[in-house]
Amino acid sequence: MKPGKHAGGKAGSKEKHWKLRLYVAGHTSKSLAAIANLQIFCDEYLSGDYQIEVVDLLKHPQLAAGDQILAIPTLVRKLPTPVKKIIGDLSKTERVLVGLDLRQEEQTV
Amino acid sequence: MSSAKSKGKTGLGIEKCPTGIRGLDEIMLGGLPKGRPTLVAGSAGSGKTVLAMEFLARGAAEFHENGVYMAFEETGQELIENTASFGFNLPELCARKKILLDHVHVDRSEIEESGAYSLEGLFVRLENAIKTVNAKRVVLDTIETLFSGFSNESILRAELARLFRWLKTAGVTAVITGESGDGLLTRHGLEEYVADCVIVLDHRVAEQTSIRRLRVMKYRGSLHGTNEYAFLIGKKGISVLPITSLHLDHEASKARISTGIPRLDTMLDGKGFYRGSSVLLSGGAGTGKSSISANFVRAACERGERALYFASEQSPSEIIRNMNSIGIDLARWAAKGLLRFHAARPTLVGLEQHLVLLHEVITEFAPAVVVIDPITNFGAAGNAMEVKSMLTRIIDFLKERQITGFFTSLTAANSNPEESEVCISSQIDTWLLLRNLESNGERNRALYVLKSRGMAHSNQIREFVLTSRGVELLDVYIGSGGVLTGTARAAQEAQEQASVLAEKQELERKRAELSRRRVELKERIEALHWDFRSEEEKILTCMRQIEERERQVARHRLDMAHLRRADAANANGHRTRNVRA
């Protein structure tokens, strides 16, 4: 929401357009948790210029092959490139930051 | 485990899904467990992918069971290219929607983990693929690559177990390949427990020869061959050996075929070998093994049968040239397509490879007789045990197809062939032995039948000679110095001829004497007759004279009486007077 929130992030997210896709399979607890966690994360770390698409593989199983989805839930960063994948319910914010290149690995270790 | 009742087939065990892979179905008594997951474990390069792909391709092509191949390592295109040499024709099967190749890209570096997850995506994807082609068979290749993409061990273990359960529920016959870890069958040590059937592949090198082996380690609900079986990846995919040796139930033929040597046929009950039997011909160097083989081959071709000559010492053209020298024209039959040569050095490839080559050639050419000349050369490619098992398999295979097997065996100069061939002698139906007989400064060849099952065979030793018309058997003379062969035999023959002649002359002489005696006897009888007649004449004349004289005396007395006027009483008075006087 606010630009100043991404304190540790080197990469400027202001000028970036974020396109995220979250793959889930039905309304399981993990799926619901992932959707909720993602919403919180985006609000906190992304500057509002983001787009979230939730894909339910139970409804569109053929879409699993496109992004090489194995684990559920999987968050795919379509933009900015390169494509990044984060699996899990996104409960560990640190790993999400690393996964989205918002924070360097070294800082978290 | 749980599906013994649900799968039906009461009492017959579980239902099987044939792989179509040669030999594997025999070992597994029908195939993989139908509708259950099978783990194929092995190290890198052990043939897991080929086995899995063949299972799928044959299922689609031969058993009308479509399949899904989920590859975690190779892309679809790579798979098509890599398996093209086996003739599976994947592109066509894919185009006809019989097989779906699905490459799943797993890259650890692209994935960040944050919190709990499941592999539902994989399941969804698999299910979708199965539905797309209505698959009955599924391959996951290899499970290790899939799991290398994720780091949470506990999730992985749970998901792995769930995957196997899921596959069972889906009712597909699945092959999951797994990489063997350090001393472990699989990296996670879990797959072998959750799978219903485990096949272990192994690729090792022994004495510079690579050997592939396969073992069915576990098979829930079914009997299976438990040994390590050699297998080969050949031109047509995988061949597991032995192909037939689980059974010993081939039909025994009563038909007989000629050996190609008339007098050898006579030695074998007058009819030759049994069709489909195995014949061993052993002898030292230069005893004529190849020549007798060639005779046998020629006889088969003359009957219009196909013959396969597996040569491991001479090239086909050498054999043809050499056999021409004894009047056997093999080139003619080769040109007609009735005779095929297969020449290869035993050490060129491993024993199993030879066996598979033989299998392939025999299956394709369908000969009535097969000659292996010599089998002893295989000793160079393996140890005695391996050679024995290979020959057992060859013999089994030939017998099952009613092919007469003719094997030659080279025995060491001073060894006893009956000992040196212990390894296969019990499997041989007819055993011919060739001997070199050395005497009188020459070496001659002799042949005898050591055994021949199921027929009254000759126990005689015969000398055989190589003539310009092929092999001929001759009688052997038993003389004071033992068996006579070669020039000694010729001398004996001459001697016998001479004595026969002498006897003939003697007979003639006796016959002449007899007729002479007969003539003589006749003459003597004639002479006696003459003697007798003249004697008889004399006696008769004499008798007549006496009778005449008596008559004259009587007449004279009557005349006297008349003169004296005697009456009848006179006669008495005459007598009385005589008494008085």
Query: CB distance B125–A65 less than 8 Å?
Result: yes
pLDDT tens for chain A, 109 residues: list them.
334 344 344 444 445 788 888 888 888 888 888 888 888 888 887 777 788 888 888 888 888 778 888 888 888 888 777 888 888 888 877 777 777 777 765 544 4
Give start and end residues of each alpha helix (H) in B313-434. 316-324, 330-336, 351-365, 384-400, 417-420, 422-425
B111 in contact with chain A, both atoms CB, cutoff 8 A: yes
Q: Above 60 in pLDDT, residue B38?
A: yes
Q: What per-residue confidence (pLDDT) applies to A2? A: 39
- For chain A, helix, strand, coil in percent to 5 are 30, 25, 45
Read off φ and ψ for residue B73, nearest 5 degrees: -110, -55
Q: What per-residue confidence (pLDDT) applies to B137? A: 92
More confident residue, B564 or A6: B564
d(CA B437, CA B287): 10
Q: Which residues of A touch B127 (CB under 8 A)?
A: 61
A29 in contact with chain B, both atoms CB, cutoff 8 A: no
pLDDT band of B259, cuts 50, 70, 90 = confident
Task: State the average pLDDT over residues B261-269.
Answer: 86
According to DSSP, residue B460 is labeled -
d(CA B71, CA A36): 34
Nearest by Cα to B39 from B237, B176, B220: B176
B63 in contact with chain A, both atoms CB, cutoff 8 A: no
Non-local CB neighbours of B412 within 8 Å, separated by 6+ positions: B284, B420
Task: State the average pLDDT over residues B541-553.
Answer: 94
Q: Above 60 in pLDDT, residue B8?
A: no
Q: What per-residue confidence (pLDDT) applies to A105? A: 59
A61 in contact with chain B, both atoms CB, cutoff 8 A: yes
pLDDT band of B245, cuts 50, 70, 90 = low
pLDDT band of B348, cuts 50, 70, 90 = low
Q: Which residues of B touch A28 (CB under 8 A)?
A: 120
Predicted confidence (pLDDT) per residue in B406-457, tens digit: 988 887 766 665 655 656 777 788 888 888 877 777 778 888 888 888 888 8
Query: CB distance B113–A68 less than 8 Å?
Result: no
Q: Count contacts between A and B (CB, < 8 Å).
A: 101
pLDDT band of B193, cuts 50, 70, 90 = confident
Q: Which residues of B touch A65 (CB under 8 A)?
A: 102, 125, 128
Query: CB distance B117–A84 less than 8 Å?
Result: no
Query: CB distance A91–B115 less than 8 Å?
Result: yes
The structure's pTM equals 0.63
Q: Which residues of A touch B146 (CB under 8 A)?
A: 70
**Which of B102, B113, B124, B132 to probe by mutation at the A interface, max A CB count within 10 Å?**
B124
- Please tell me which of the candidates A84, A87, A93 has its beta carbon nearest to residue B117: A87
Percent of all residues in chain B with a pLDDT value above 90, rounded to a whole number: 14
Read off φ and ψ for residue B306, nearest 5 degrees: -85, 145
- Please tell me which of the candidates B102, B112, B114 has its beta carbon nearest to residue A91: B114
* In the block, residue with structure tokens 């020549």: B291
pLDDT band of B520, cuts 50, 70, 90 = very high
Say which amino acid occupies B419: E
DSSP B464-489: EEEETTEEEEE--EEETTEEE-HHHH
Task: State the average pLDDT over residues B193-203.
Answer: 86
Task: State the average pLDDT over residues B549-556.
Answer: 93
Task: State the average pLDDT over residues B170-176.
Answer: 90
Q: Which residues of B touch A88 (CB under 8 A)?
A: 113-117
Predicted confidence (pLDDT) per residue in B487-499, tens digit: 777 887 888 888 8
Mean pLDDT of chain B: 82
Q: Which residues of B touch A33 (CB under 8 A)?
A: 115
ipTM over 0.85: no
More confident residue, B58 or A3: B58
More confident residue, B571 or A73: A73
More confident residue, B327 or A100: B327
A35 in contact with chain B, both atoms CB, cutoff 8 A: no
**Helix axis angle, B384-400 relative to B351-365, nearest 10°?**
10
* In the block, residue with structure tokens 């467990």: B33
Nearest CA in chain A to B147: A70
Predicted confidence (pLDDT) per residue in B352-382, tens digit: 777 777 888 888 888 999 998 888 777 666 6
Task: State the average pLDDT over residues B45-58.
Answer: 88
Cβ under 8 Å to A: B residues 75-104: 102, 104
Task: State the average pLDDT over residues B61-80.
Answer: 87
Task: State the average pLDDT over residues B242-249.
Answer: 56
**Which of A78, A87, A100 to probe by mutation at the B interface, max B CB count within 10 Å?**
A87
For chain A, the first-to-last Cα distance in angstroms comes to: 27
Active-site residues of B, by number, are 73, 313
Q: Above 80 in pLDDT, residue B53?
A: yes
Q: What per-residue confidence (pLDDT) applies to B543? A: 94
Q: Above 60 in pLDDT, residue B327?
A: yes
Task: State the average pLDDT over residues B176-190.
Answer: 74
Percent of all residues in chain B with a pLDDT value above 70, rounded to a whole number: 86
What Rg do the C-alpha atoms of chain B give, in angstroms?
Answer: 48
